[in-house]
Amino acid sequence: MPLHPQARDYLAAIGPEEETDFDSITLEDIQRTRAQTDGAAIHRGPLTKLPFVRDEVAEGVPIRIYRADPGDAPLPVVVYFHGGGWVYGSIKRADAAARYLAVHSGGVVVSAGYRLAPEHPFPAAADDAWTVVRDIFARPAFYQSNGGVAVVGESSGGNLAAVAAWQARDAGLRLTHQALVCPVLDAAMGTPSHRAYAKGYVLPAAEIAWFLRQYADGVDPADPRLSPLRLPEAAGLAPATVVTAEYDVLRDEAETYARRLAQAGVPVEHRRYDGALHGFFALPGLFDQGADARSYVAGRLRESW
């Protein structure tokens, strides 16, 4: 399919991608970028006012808990992992998406502020993600949980959600669902979509390679804590929703993962957004498909409870 008109207009607005010397980026540059005001914040969705939003800590990991239901009855819990290549992103930046899921999923949302690379390399982010999931099972009353727990993540957050899903299975903890949105699932970067969309489509292959170096330089790409697609056995994983964008370097690895789950007997539903770019889910104010994808994921979560 051709680029969606909104995706085409977005690429025209940001202009041609300049060649970036990623090796010249310093830690100070990274920290400065993190500290800058997010110019796309207005497009990330409304900051819906909720009766309950509270910052807490899960075994040392910062979290923010969102609840749209004003009562105190136990509800299922959605653990949300933001994107940003394991280097960028934050609870604050993911605030609009977390609020949306709290309103529309029927659950309490716990947004995880996992440690970022390069200051905290692999497996710090994966360890933090697993810590939050494990804490929810260990302290259901604290989270007002009724026992249902799902994980949701976008991009690198989708990687963390997928890793946490297999860790939960192996620990004997039952997740009700895993929703993976344009996730990073294979560090090999060898798929046709990586070659086809390596340049000019928001997330160049060179940037993915840089993110991987910041997070997991020297790590075996077959380690399933980095590349969930390399997990030896997929049977018994939580039912899944996999969302992909057509013009995304990460498309093929995510779609391969969805097929692998189905072949292993895992209930899975995959939806590709034709003409869409990586990151569309985070910007529903720019992309109608992003708004649709958020609604779709929230609906899938509601169905899973």
| Residue 19 scores a pLDDT above 80 | no
Task: Flag whether the pTM goes above 0.85.
Answer: yes
Q: Model confidence over 164-178: pLDDT tens digits?
A: 999 999 999 999 999
Q: Which of 69, 26, 28 is nearest to 51 (CA)?
A: 69
Do the beta carbons of residue 234 and residue 169 sit within 8 Å? no
Cis peptide before 123, with omega less than 30 degrees from 0? yes
Which parts of 105-204 fold into alpha helices (H)? 124-138, 156-170, 192-196
In this structure, how many other beta carbons lie within 10 angstroms of the beta carbon of residue 258? 22
Which residues on adjacent β-strands are paired with residue 67? 52
DSSP 120: S
Q: Model confidence over 46-66: pLDDT tens digits?
A: 999 999 999 999 999 999 999
Q: Which of 164, 150, 163 is nearest to 106 (CA)?
A: 150
Radius of gyration of the chain (CA): 18
Do the beta carbons of residue 135 and residue 197 sit within 8 Å? no
Angle at 190 between CA 249 and CA 256, to 5 degrees: 70
Q: Give the residue numbers annotated as catalytic, written as ranges.
A: 155, 248, 278
Q: Which domains does the chain have, with CATH numbers?
A: 5-304 (3.40.50.1820)
Q: Model confidence over 58-103: pLDDT tens digits?
A: 999 999 999 999 999 999 999 999 999 999 999 999 999 999 999 9
Q: Model confidence over 194-209: pLDDT tens digits?
A: 999 999 899 999 999 9
